[in-house]
Structure 1
Amino acid sequence: MEKRIGTQKITPNLWFTMNAEEAINFYMTIFKDGKKGRSSYYGEEGFEIHKIPAGTLMTQEFYLAGQEFLALNGGPYFQFNEAISFVINCDSQEEVDYYWDKLTEGGPAESQMCGWLKDKFGVSWQVVPLELTEMMQTEDKEALSRVTKEVLSSKKLDLNKLRAAYGK
């Protein structure tokens, strides 16, 4: 039996202005194991409130890297910001580069620091080499200080620079 949305205890619900399907299709070109689930559509009820025509996609379930998501075409009332982001744990610099390059295509590119970026839909992502997690848990305070300084001064994280800062 195929796993369906709702079997995961917590499912992120992403509010898009009216481009949820475009966003999902974009993400599916990046995450090769992505797939769509069930869809729902606006009916005539509530039009006087939301002003979205009947038959327009309302919600779309989808999966990226085994993670369930729900996308909502909700109108221009709410915008994404960096207070919520999705962390992509990467095994190599090549993987960091792949996700960074793909997610910044057509968008505002990197947003702040520490491996954070915003995609063209305004969704924030953190593209992080897994090795960094191990470095940040070291008891060597000097190594931790050097790595932290490198992270804070970086937009896209560079594993070779992180290793050099760590002392590897």
Structure 2
Amino acid sequence: MSKISPCLWFDGEAEQAANFYVSLLPDSRVETVQRNPVDGPAGKAGSVLVVEFTLAGQRFMALNGGMRVEYTHAVSFKIDCADQAEVDRLWDALLANGGSAQRCGWLRDRYGVSWQIVPSALPKYLGGPDRAGAQRAMQAMLGMVKLDIEGLRRAYEGKSAA
């Protein structure tokens, strides 16, 4: 197990967020839920203080910190997706109930956390041996919101959109 795990700050939504995140990916589960032993800045006695969870094999902690703190794009979580179906499923789930789409496969979920939903094929198109193809793929990606594997492939190969 890694000695380092991200801690996500919430204002009373830590358990709800952890349960949502673990529902999205295999090898994910809530490990422990720690409750406040006394009334304090993070909530009333008995309310959730910390949720430790595993998301796709990576340990996380969700903390109810007692106030809203905004996340920035300076930290985001990248999910490698095997195919377009996985890109679409995760994109739709993370945007549901108040998320917002960004450029180039980025989004903010309903809690304000930034995610990058990235097809595993992306490095093949952006870093492939055909430098002109890689440039075309990069230009195509810069025009996308949700990443489209077929669109990236067609751009790399120099084929116009169907």
User: What TM-score, normalized by structure 2, do the two folds share?
Assistant: 0.89
In 1, Cα distance between equivalents of 2:111 and 2:68:
14
Percent pairwise identity: 41
Aligned residues: 158
- Cα deviation for residue 10 of structure 1 reads 1.5
* CA deviation string 1:25-81 (max 9, x = no partner): 212322243211122222237x2xx26212221111101111111100112252212
In 1, Cα distance between equivalents of 2:42 and 2:52:
22
2:4 to 7, 10, 18: 10
Q: Could you say which residue in structure 1 is the equivalent of 2:80?
A: 89
1:41 aligns with 2:35: yes
Instruction: In structure 2, give the amino acid aligned to 1:144.
Output: A
1:152 aligns with 2:146: no
Query: Does structure 1 retain, via aligned residues, the 8 Å contact 2:42–2:49?
Result: no
Q: Please give the secondary structure, in 2, of the residue aligned with 1:162.
A: helix
In 2, Cα distance between equivalents of 1:51 and 1:20:
11
Alignment of 1:18-167 (within 5 A): 18-44=12-38, 47=40, 50=41, 52-110=43-101, 112-167=102-157
In 2, Cα distance between equivalents of 1:152 and 1:51:
41
Q: Which runs of 4+ in 1 moved over 6 A?
A: none
Relative distance call for 1:51 and 1:96 in structure 2 (3 A) is closer
- Cα deviation for residue 127 of structure 1 reads 0.6
In 2, Cα distance between equivalents of 1:132 and 1:32:
22
- Cα deviation for residue 129 of structure 1 reads 0.7
Relative distance call for 1:102 and 1:51 in structure 2 (3 A) is closer
Task: Give the superposed CA RMSD.
Answer: 1.7
Query: Does structure 1 retain, via aligned residues, the 8 Å contact 2:104–2:142?
Result: yes
